[in-house]
């Protein structure tokens, strides 16, 4: 018996992929879509709000302000609804209609801004959120990109869960990077319990993360349609200490793999999960000795039914070939 919906956050199941070609490796998926808000971001939302309360940064009547690609906003909306906070979110205009309607249904106030501008521009979603917070009385800028309670959630919960569920038999973890909280938290945990674990990055084509992982520098970002991962800057909380390789994955391949995951494994996953799966499969097929590889179903595909699961949308974006997502 649970006393609150928030008590259902975490302890998500892990399953082994059985109908996709994983080479000599075992590929496991941690089903973060089973969190009550439908994504891995429930974990950090609860952690960041709890920590802000603990430090006296927020109290009844406070206004929470955040920049989000959608799922952190949904996690914050869930926690804010239960705890009674007003929530104001700034979201880039490429986000799915389902996410926006879900946020509004939960009582969040949504401001939609441009997705074609980079950090430093006044209409860039993070800069706009920070500006709004500075102008709003009794507000708190959550700032997932710089908030240490973000990776702490994964260090304290996600990492130990994976270690327990696989009985410590883990060789590789494949992550995407948005705020970098998942990768950083897992890195901090596995440094302590199994420092030989390899972290592999799955990065959308157009993002600067792979270039930085490979060379320590990066240029201008491009654009991509996958939501929630990929960046035009390096998040200040990012820890690349265990990263051994990074893959660039196109939108086409991301959407194709997400749809293949549904058709072959029966798992309805979101766009970033397709990116992670594509990279994980590439990594697995490159190995010559068996390894246990873990990646994530970051969120549910229910949030993308009018996008990557809609053939007409894929055709409009030139991502459909002869009625089948290309990949």
User: Phi/psi class of residue 292: alpha, beta or left (left: φ > 0; alpha: ψ in -120 to 50)?
Assistant: beta
- Catalytic residue numbers read 41
- For strands 324-325 and 320-321, give the pairing: antiparallel
Q: What SS3 state is found at 200?
A: strand
E strand spans, 228-291: 243-249
Helices (H), 69-208: 71-83, 97-105, 125-135, 149-153, 159-165, 181-193
Q: How far apart are CA 250 and CA 270, in angstroms?
A: 15
Report residue 211: phi and psi, to 5°: -55, -45
Looking up tokens 């199941």 gives: 13
DSSP 50-95: HHHHHTTS--TT-EEEEE-SSHHHHHHHHHHHHHT-EEEEEEETTS
The Cα 200–Cα 184 span in angstroms is 12
Which residues, 6 or more positions from 127, have their beta carbon under 8 angstroms from its beta carbon? 119, 120, 121
Contact present, 254 and 180 (Cβ < 8 Å): no
DSSP 149-184: HHHHHIIIIIHHHHHHHTTT---EEEE--SSSHHHH
44: phi then psi, degrees, rounded to nearest 5: -75, -30
User: Would you say the C-alpha torsion 75, 241, 209, 275 has a positive or negative sign?
Assistant: negative
Distance CA 66, CA 130 (A): 8
Distance of alpha carbon 68 from alpha carbon 284, whole angstroms: 31
């Amino acid at each position: 018996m649970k006393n609150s919906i928030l008590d259902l956050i975490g302890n998500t199941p892990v399953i082994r992929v059985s109908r996709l070609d994983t080479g000599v490796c075992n590929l496991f998926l941690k089903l973060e879509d089973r969190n009550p808000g439908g994504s891995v971001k429930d974990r950090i939302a609860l952690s960041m709000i709890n920590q802000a309360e603990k430090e006296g940064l927020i109290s009844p009547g406070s206004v929470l302000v955040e920049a989000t690609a959608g799922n952190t906003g949904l996690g914050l909306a869930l926690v804010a609804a239960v705890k009674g906070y007003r929530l104001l979110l700034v979201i880039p205009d490429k986000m799915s209609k389902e996410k926006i309607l879900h946020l509004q249904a939960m009582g969040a106030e949504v401001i939609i801004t441009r997705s074609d501008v980079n950090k430093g521009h006044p209409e860039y979603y993070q800069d706009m959120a920070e500006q709004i917070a500075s102008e709003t009385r009794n507000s708190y800028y959550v700032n997932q990109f710089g908030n240490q309670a973000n990776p702490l959630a994964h260090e304290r919960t996600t990492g130990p869960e994976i270690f327990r569920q696989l009985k410590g038999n883990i060789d590789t973890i494949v992550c995407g990077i948005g705020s970098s909280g998942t990768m950083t938290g897992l890195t901090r945990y596995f440094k302590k319990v199994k420092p030989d674990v390899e972290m592999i990055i799955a990065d959308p084509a157009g993002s600067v993360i792979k270039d930085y992982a490979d060379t320590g520098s990066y240029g201008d970002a491009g654009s991509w349609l996958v939501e929630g991962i990929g960046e035009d800057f390096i998040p200040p909380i990012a820890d690349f200490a265990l990263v051994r390789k990074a893959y660039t994955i196109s939108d086409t391949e991301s959407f194709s793999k997400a749809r293949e995951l549904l058709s072959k494994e029966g798992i309805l996953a979101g766009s970033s999960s397709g990116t992670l799966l594509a990279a994980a499969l590439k990594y697995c097929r490159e190995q010559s000795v068996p390894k246990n590889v873990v990646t994530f179903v970051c969120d549910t595909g229910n949030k993308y039914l009018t996008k990557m699961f809609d053939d007409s949308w894929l055709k409009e974006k030139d991502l459909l070939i002869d009625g089948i997502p290309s990949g």
